[in-house]
Amino acid sequence: MIIGLTGRNGAGKGVMADYLARKSFEAHSLSDILREELRARGEPITRERLIETGRELRAAYGPAVLAERTLARLAPNKNYVIDSIRHPAEVEALRSRESFVLVNVEAPLEVRFERNRERGREADPKTLEAFRALEEAELESSEEEGQQLVRCEEMADHAVVNDSTIEGFCERIDRLVGSLLQGSSRPGWDEYFMNIAQVVSSRSNCIKRKVASVVVQDRRIISTGYNGTPRGTRNCNEGGCPRCNELAPAGTALDECLCSHAEENSITQAAYHGISVRGATLYSTYSPCLMCTKMIINAGIAEVVYNENYPLGARAQALLKEAGVTIRQLHL
């Protein structure tokens, strides 16, 4: 899960990020990108320079640049908390990860001013009126590269109020995050095995199309295969297949292609190791061709699940249905 934090100055975003870090969330801040930029320039890190540098980077690289650079640092198998989200384009970029939720941390103006004043920073506003005036100037810029906190607040999925004690705030965080984690989803079996097939396809050595197949029995992978030239021969991407390397038009010179198909390789791989595929389900990133279809039927595979349609696959699908093999398309 990725929990993004937005909110106004002194609301408690940093406190929430630190608390979740102690709860095994890895903490990041979009402001870290700005601090790194200022250090590289040899400039002082002040609130004003952070805001100005954010505008500069958004103008130069697009309004989502801070979120994009932060996302590049995240692995897919951890819980994260990301602080300092101040632009709607940053929210949209972070929403590219399905596990992302945006939380607005809220607190009354007077409470936030007192917290700000207690920090005792020289450049911070000394009166409530000055604090309010500075905040209003930063809330919603008319320029694309400026901060737009109000819009971020409107885009939030959840809100947590921090208007009393730290203990009370942490209790509210626990309730919110607990409900989010308990409600988080994991992929179903079809999506799980198809995602594995997508990863397997990255091993393909074919230069025209990367395809992979995973054979599953009782929710257990018994064989995988990807398209490419036969074992012990020169790889397609090293010039091994003349048809592929000459970039033959689609659907032509198929009798000259030396690449074995993914479904063919997954079935023969099982045979090579003496494993029966009878009654199994075959997951493929493309629907099978006619040749692979005949092999699937004769091997006793009971079901085929595919992601994309093979361009010449209509007759193959009709044959699978005639043979009683279940065939389903799964869009990822």
Sheet-wide strand order for 26-29: 26-29, 80-83, 2-7, 100-106, 158-161
- Please give the backbone phi and psi of residue 258, each rounded to the nearest 5 degrees, phi first: -95, 0
User: Within 13 A of 26's CA, how many CA atoms are on the CB side?
Assistant: 12
Residue 248 DSSP label: P
Distance CA 234, CA 216 (A): 29
- Chain center to CA of 197: 17
Is-contact 121 103, C-beta < 8 A?
Answer: no
Residue 263: active-site member:
yes
β-pairing, 303-308 with 281-286?
Answer: parallel
Distance CA 93, CA 84 (A): 14
β-pairing, 281-286 with 212-217?
Answer: antiparallel
Q: Helix, strand, coil proportions of the chain in percent (round to 5)? A: 45, 15, 35
Distance CA 124, CA 111 (A): 15
User: Tokens at residue 291, please?
Assistant: 């040749």
Instruction: Name the 3-class secondary structure at 289.
Output: coil
Residue 237 DSSP label: G
Amino acid at the residue 324:
G
- DSSP calls for 260-295: BPHHHHHHHHHHHTT---TT-EEEEEE---HHHHHH
Query: Which listed residue (144, 263, 303, 308) is catalytic?
Result: 263
Q: Show which residues are catalytic.
A: 263
